């Protein structure tokens, strides 16, 4: 099966958190890893062939643009102890001719691994693969308590959007 390598600078991960006073958009552009996906002669994902992925994101690469918020976030998630978020797609099946996949992934964050199910879109343009998806997570599922400071409370539900660009590896 063809293997595709993630292009870090072209694969943004956006994390949106809400608090009692505002919404924060953090971004990371150091996603790395590989995807394995098979396509038919028309360039569409094969319906009878599963795909897989192994992805890594350094926690230190997540930045909101506010150094104080970033420092608090790294402290809450114990980034020194757990420096990498890992995603292993354990099951993925193409939806009928839609370019969408139902996927199940084992996500390891803050030393905890959880199974998460979702949907992603997959498109191919020659040697380039683009995978895009959104998912909501409850940080407490990974034993991370939302920060609190006086009247400021952070919602434990975060939204994550990923747009992965990957290029076919040459043999």
DSSP, collapsed to helix, strand or coil, labels residue 171 as: coil
CATH superfamily of 3-11+28-134+163-168: Lipid/polyisoprenoid-binding, YceI-like (2.40.128.110)
Give ∠ CA 160-8-115 in degrees, rounded to 5. 40
From CA 160, how far away is CA 168, in angstroms rounded? 25
Q: How many angstroms separate the Cα of 98 from the Cα of each of 84, 117, 153?
A: 32, 18, 40
pTM exceeding 0.75: yes
Residue spans of the domains in the chain: they are 3-11+28-134+163-168
Each of the 171 residues of the chain gets a pLDDT tens digit; together they read 788 999 999 999 999 999 888 899 999 999 999 998 877 777 767 767 777 899 999 999 999 999 988 998 899 999 999 999 999 998 877 776 667 888 899 999 999 999 999 999 888 888 899 999 999 999 999 999 988 766 778 899 999 999 999 999 876
């Amino acid at each position: 099966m063809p293997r595709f390598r993630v292009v870090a600078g072209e694969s943004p991960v956006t994390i949106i958190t809400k608090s009692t006073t505002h919404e924060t958009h953090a971004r990371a552009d150091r996603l790395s890893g590989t995807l394995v996906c098979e396509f038919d002669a028309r360039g569409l994902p094969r319906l009878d062939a599963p795909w897989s992925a192994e992805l890594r994101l350094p926690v230190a690469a997540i930045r909101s643009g506010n150094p104080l918020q970033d420092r608090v976030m790294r402290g809450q998630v114990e980034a020194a102890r757990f420096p990498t978020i890992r995603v292993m797609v354990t099951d993925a099946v193409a939806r009928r001719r839609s370019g969408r996949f139902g996927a199940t992934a084992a996500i390891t964050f803050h030393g905890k691994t959880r199974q998460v199910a979702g949907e992603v879109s997959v498109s191919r343009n020659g040697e380039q693969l683009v995978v895009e998806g959104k998912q909501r997570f409850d940080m407490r599922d990974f034993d991370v308590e939302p920060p609190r400071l006086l009247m400021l409370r952070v919602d434990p539900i975060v939204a994550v959007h990923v747009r992965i660009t990957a290029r076919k590896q040459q043999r």
